[in-house]
Amino acid sequence: MASSKLRLALFIICALVALAPFPYVVTRPTKPAPGCACIKSHNESASSHIRINYQIFKVASKTPSYVQIVQLFCKTGYFLSLNDTAKKNRIIGIVNQSSESTFFESQSLGTSIVRLRNVVSGRFLAINSRGRIITQAKVSDESIFKTMYEENYFHTFTSHKYFKNKRHDLFLGIKQNGRCKSPKLTFPGQISVQFILLPNNNTEDRVRIMTSAKQNRVKQGKRDMG
Ligand SMILES: *[C@@H]1O[C@H](CO)[C@@H](O)[C@H](O)[C@H]1NC(C)=O
Ligand SMILES: *[C@@H]1O[C@H](CO)[C@@H](O)[C@H](O)[C@H]1NC(C)=O
Ligand SMILES: *[C@@H]1O[C@H](CO)[C@@H](O)[C@H](O)[C@H]1NC(C)=O
Ligand SMILES: CC(=O)N[C@H]1CO[C@H](CO)[C@@H](O)[C@@H]1O
């Protein structure tokens, strides 16, 4: 009698052990990211989906083969512009076509591969590893864009280094309110990502812009030194 009770007890214990999931697998809490503010980390998970296009290293030529001064007019009605007095969101859309801040050097690095350098400030347009539009003082991989010629004279510009799902899906764009569109929220075919390139053929204009740009950079240099 006693031994059958013992056997039953053993059986129950064995069954429990066999059926119980490994507690350390199930109950181990997910590790919090080191030093994270939780709200931030929630949205930063979006940036972890940004991937690198390893073909970037095929961009052989680092010196542009061809340079042209252009203005980029977005289908939403704005000229791409760099406001270098603003600390954040330097890239904006403005409607004043005469503003010198709308002139960009389009530096060709190969077929459909360009850098866009704002003439007055000398800064390069770029998309960073978090999928945001930024500007940079120095040349880097992040300022390389692939440009595609779409129908009806429109061009698009996508990050050559980073992508979300498939290569070249982070577009430069200006929203209906003149602000930059987050490249992570862009899709081909949206009107906000389509630009007409207006080449500036006026030599006098060009010289004037370049001169004022140089003076600006000298001033900036002095400011940085002092
Ligand atoms: C540029 O930025 C400055 C400082 O934020 C702002 O006062 C000015 O209105 C901006 N210019 C344009 C054209 O948005
Ligand atoms: C447009 O930009 C030019 C050159 O910076 C400036 O002289 C003109 O006043 C601006 N026009 C408007 C409407 O802001
Ligand atoms: C500027 O030059 C391009 C080619 O170099 C030409 O197609 C275009 O018509 C010219 N634009 C103006 C306004 O002269
Ligand atoms: C807390 C926070 O900033 N949430 C935002 C995360 O990003 C999405 C869009 O990707 C926004 O809609 C949320 O407001």
Can you name the residues that pair with 52 across neighbouring β-strands? 162
Q: Using alpha carbons, select from 186, 78, 95 the residue that is nearest to residue 132.
A: 186
What mean pLDDT is predicted for residues 208-215? 64
Name which of 57-71, 102-116, 190-204, 206-220 the model is least confident about: 206-220
What is the rounded distance in angstroms from the CA atom of residue 92 to the CA atom of residue 178?
Answer: 6
Minimum-distance ligand 1 atom for the alpha carbon of 83: 1
pTM: 0.68
Question: Among the atoms of ligand 3, which is closest to the Cα of residue 200?
Answer: 1
Query: Ligand 1 centre from 85 Cα, in Å?
Result: 6
Q: Tell the residue nearest (CA) to atom 11 of ligand 4.
A: 43
**Average pLDDT, stretch 71-78?**
95
Counting residues of the chain whose pLDDT is more than 70, the rounded percentage is 67
Question: pLDDT of 106-142, one tens digit each?
Answer: 999 888 999 999 998 889 999 999 999 999 999 999 9
Q: How many CA within 13 A on the CB side of residue 151?
A: 4
**Bigger pLDDT: 45 vs 69:** 69
